[in-house]
Structure 1
Amino acid sequence: MSEIVTSPPPVPAAASKVSMAAGEFTTAQKVAMAVLLMANFTLAVDFSILNVALPRIGTELGFATSGLQWIVTSFALCAAGFTLFFGRVADLFGRKRLFMIGIVLLGLSSLAGGLATAPLPLIIARVGQGIATAMVTPAALSLMTTMFPEGPARSRALGLNGALMAAGFTTGAVLGGLLTGAVSWRWAFFINVIIAVAVAVVAPFVLREPAVGTRPKLDVPGAVTITLMLVALVFGIDNAGHAGWTHPGTWGPILAALILFAVFLKIEGRVAEPLVTPSLLKRRNIGWGNTAGLLAFGTFTSLVFLLTLYLQEILGYSAITAGLILGVLGVGTVLGGLIAPKVIGRTSAKTAIVSGLIVQAVATLPLAFAGDSRAWLIPVLILTFLGGVANLIAIVGYTVASTAGVPSDKQGLATGLVTMSQQVGIALGTPVMSALATGVVATTLLPGLQFAIGINAALALGTAILISLFLHLPKTRAMADA
């Protein structure tokens, strides 16, 4: 910890090592963690805070109905598309520096969004928020992983981060409805400004990172190619939710993404200093860990979407009431984030992923039989709470697994991959489940929702089986450079 906390005297340093072994934080670490968690929670809220407010925004600013999707899509494209690039930039040019730039950009773009009086300025503001998310999230996560060595303290830090980010996604839906109904949707932006200013004032004094040695060159061709690939992939997936999977605007970008990925692999095999070291991707804990994360996020965030439709369209609750009901799920995710480090400490990150996904599947499957009676509300509350706990245990497990054994100078890249799998999972899950719910079962909505929820449970179970078979964790806590 001497590279993180400024030169402590010998006795406190020894005490610090003991506390880290027990999973405890020093005072300096607690303050730094509070700053990083506040930033990541805010960014997670931004993924969903405007969803309920879209009709009101469209009316006030003159959006065409078909154009409202771009308020969400422009953010998701940039947040997912640039995250791997900025994860590597954090390694090369400084995580703290990138974190600060991202926070300032978040504050400025949020202020612009809150003051917007026409569609174009609002879309530009959302692009700024998306790029800020791609900067801050991997930088903050890599600051956490380099702040703590592998073990209980890191697991606890990642557990808290996972809990707050998952809770932030649910909180965004509730908060967006409350702000839109009670004050104005503009406060969904202005709150970010207040938080960004607070973080920007405190962060320079509490965040530390290891000294960087020789800086390798940035692989510009690889960075451009992978960024275009991710943007094309997320655009195609997002478009599927609006135009269907057979539309050229869906399969065209997805096909382009596959071609760009093949080009990216060829580039990485030829350049002297690749953006993604091939040996890093060959590690099973990274490849399979991120696969687990993508599907964990994809299944559960899409389940929130399906249950929102169920509560409003089938049971007849208002949008705000439905959001408050799903707040129980948010409580479950927070509890899961607190439990996860204990599960990992007593077993392993792999066990946490597998057991979490199995319990999630078991909690989700009964919802596939939910009927049109409000008597189903109590079972929905109980099952989503249990599913939220289990999902966060799996998510923290995949974060620990996907950063295990990675050297300090590549933690930004590793956490960039973690963030990318998270954001692509969020972008992928909802369109897929939406297509299953509305396009596969052709009669009424309820059978479609039941079918989609059943597939959702099967995906969680199938992922658990694959991870149990193919994920292998590093045997040692420190591995040689990739």
Structure 2
Amino acid sequence: MNLQHSSAGPPAPVRRPGPALAALAAAQFTVMLATSIVNVALPQIRSGVGLSDGGTTWVVNAYGLAFGALLLAGGRAGDLFGRRRVLVLGLGLFAGASAAAGLATSPGVLIAARAVQGLGAAAIAPAALALAMGVFPSGAGRGKALGVWGAVSGAGGAGGVLLGGLLTQAWGWPWIFHSVALGAVLVLAAVLLLVPRSAGRPGERFDLLGTVTVTAALTCLVWGLTTARGAGWTDGGVLGALAGAAVLLGAFAAIERRRPDALVPPRMFRTGRVAAGNLLMALLGSVWIALFFFLPLYQQQVLHSSALATGAGQLPLAGANMLGAALAPRIARRLGAATTVTAALLTEAAGLLWLSRISADGSYLADILGPSVLVGLGLSVAFVQLTALSVDGVPPQDAGLAGGLVNTTRQVGGAIGLAALATLAGSVTTGAAAHRTHLEALTAGYRAAFLVSAGVLAATAVLALLLTRRGPAPEPVAAAAPSAPAPVVPSA
């Protein structure tokens, strides 16, 4: 299928790159905010709309499913049809869906609105990334932009928990969606004012067959993994979805080898670093998403913290995350990319190992504050460096696709990790319930999840040391080199 489009012409020079980057970073912040803002409000949402247990999980899953499955398509659409145009359309769709979610009075409308939110986010994230690359095409500014992107990504994830608790307690759960809608409208206005137009690529084909195939594959995979948490790994629907994903991914690989207009062209992997970076980002994502799932549960279910107190408890983690992202370029220049990645992963692993010592009669100050700071520092520095590695050497015309690819691997890695760790935690809790109190059994499950997460990150650190020492290090955060460094990719 040949989808013709007009070019907006060459991008206008960016006279004020700082405000443009701020607008693009705000778009990324909004996407991350919508990912986490519902977590502490799920009990109120459930009673307010009349959701079942399964329906409550889909308030989270519908967003993540659409987001993860459509990121590749969103990234490629931006490359071909103009990234600013796709970003604007994505923000408009995102704002409308957020408002609809806040007005929902039935489970079906709410879950559908969350899915459309995910669709908008899949257009926003890779387009904003690619536009940020255009604002800072090379030099030391790219490293600073990379740090800003990492900071807002972490702040959006942790800040969403705080804002969700505050709004739910003050005005009720609909306002968590209304606030996101308002934020998206403000970001849309900022993008229109501050971000220059970007050209599409007239005459190039959009790989519709490859897009449909990989989207269906990712949908089956993410749906199967998220459903497995409740239905179990032996459920027929879960096994069928995972088998379908395997078949469709095989078909996608076969299709891409034969198409000159491939959705994921082979040139993406010529440096050898893209595959390594995406693998490591998937492993980091498997722990990252699970952390923000289990930590609020422990605070609310075991420590009996309110929604607001749970959100406020994320502030030290968010602060450490922003500090680490700001310092990451400086650290990498001093230690080198390979050492920085490895040390960051080990720092986060140490924080998770510390969290594995939580107790049923613990407290926030004794059990959470210290490890949260370690986790925030390690997570942000690792994210910045692995982002650079994941897109190192990618041709400029594929910048949007590169952003979609690394976000896809992070989302899929997160779905796999959360499904596996939730199953592990549930099994440990069930086994402990026979000879421990309810709170002790819950705590045992969370401890097991944090301990395994620490082990995964320690293994990832070893793998990163091996992979990142092959060939020259990615430039954007290692030095202010004259050649173009790797771009920034949104997270969490």
TM-score scaled by structure 2?
0.87
Q: Which residue of 2 aligns with 1:270?
A: 258
Residue in structure 2 matched with residue 14 of structure 1 by the alignment: none
Partner of 1:119: 107
Q: Structure 1 pair 424/209, CA: closer, same or farther in 2 (3 Å)?
A: farther
Deviation at 1:66, TM superposition (A): 2.5
Q: Does 1:314 align with 2:302?
A: yes
The aligned residue for residue 237 of structure 2 is 249
* Structure 2 partner of 1:415: 403
Moved more, 267-276 or 418-427: 418-427
Change in CA separation of 1:318 and 1:210 when aligned onto 2, cut-off 3 Å? closer
Alignment partner, residue 366 of structure 2: 378
SS at match of 1:82: helix
Q: Deviations over 1:61-94 (max 9, x none)?
A: 2223332222111111111000011111111111
Work out which of the residue numbers 369, 381, 387 in structure 2 matches 1:393: 381
Shift of the alpha carbon at 1:446? 2.6
Alignment of 1:290-369 (within 5 A): 290-369=278-357
Displacement of 1:309 in angstroms is 3.0
Alignment CA distance shift 1:111-1:366 (3 Å): closer
Shift of 1:185: 1.2
Structure 1 residue 478: Cα displacement = 5.8
Superposition deviation, residue 144 in structure 1 = 1.1
Distance 1:309 1:50, change over 3 A: closer
Picking from 441, 456, 461, the partner of 1:459 is 456
SS at match of 2:188: helix
One-letter code aligned to 2:458: L
Deviations 1:371-404 (A, max 9, x none): 3332573352112111111111000111111122
- The 2-side partners of 1:159 and 1:53 are apart by 30
Pairing 1:93-172 to 2, within 5 Å after superposition = 93-172=81-160
Letter in 2 for 1:445: L
**SS of corresponding position for 1:334:** helix
CA contact (8 A) 1:155 1:400 kept: no
Where does the alignment leave 5 or more consecutive residues of structure 1 unmatched? 7-25
CA distance in 1, matches of 2:99, 2:294: 32
Contact 1:357 1:391 (C-alpha < 8 Å) held by counterparts: yes
| Alpha-carbon distance between aligned partners in 2 of 1:28 and 1:181, rounded to the nearest angstrom | 40
By how many angstroms is 1:4 displaced? 5.4
Report the Cα distance in structure 1 between the residues aligned to 2:131 and 2:44, rounded to whole angstroms. Answer: 38
Q: How far did 1:303 drift?
A: 2.1
- Alignment correspondent of 2:445: 448
Does residue 1:61 correspond to 2:49, yes or no? yes
Take 2:402 and 2:308, find their aligned partners in 1: how far apart are those partners? 38
From 212, 232, 237, the counterpart of 2:220:
232
Are the equivalent residues in 2 in contact too, given 1:147–1:209 (CA < 8 A)?
A: no
Q: CA deviation at 1:221?
A: 0.9
In 1, Cα distance between the equivalents of 2:484 and 2:323? 30
In structure 1, the residue corresponding to 2:184 is in which secondary structure?
Answer: helix
After TM superposition, what 4+ stretches of structure 1 lie above 4 angstroms from structure 2?
209-215, 473-479
- The amino acid of 1:460's aligned partner reads L
Structure scoring higher RCO (CA < 8 A, sep ≥ 6) equals 2
Contact 2:20 2:135 in 1 (8 A): no
Offset, 1:179:
1.0
Q: 1:28, CA displacement in angstroms?
A: 1.1
Equivalent position SS for 1:340: helix
Shift in alpha-carbon separation, 1:90–1:375, aligned structure 2, 3 A: closer
SS at match of 2:290: helix
Q: d(CA) in 2 for partners of 1:229 and 1:473?
A: 33
Please give the residue correspondences for 1:14-33 in structure 2 after superposition, counting only pairs within 5 Å. Answer: 28-33=16-21
**In structure 2, what is the Cα distance between the partners aligned to 1:341 and 1:424?**
27
Question: How many aligned positions are there?
Answer: 459
Aligned to 1:468: 465
Q: RMSD of aligned C-alpha atoms?
A: 2.3
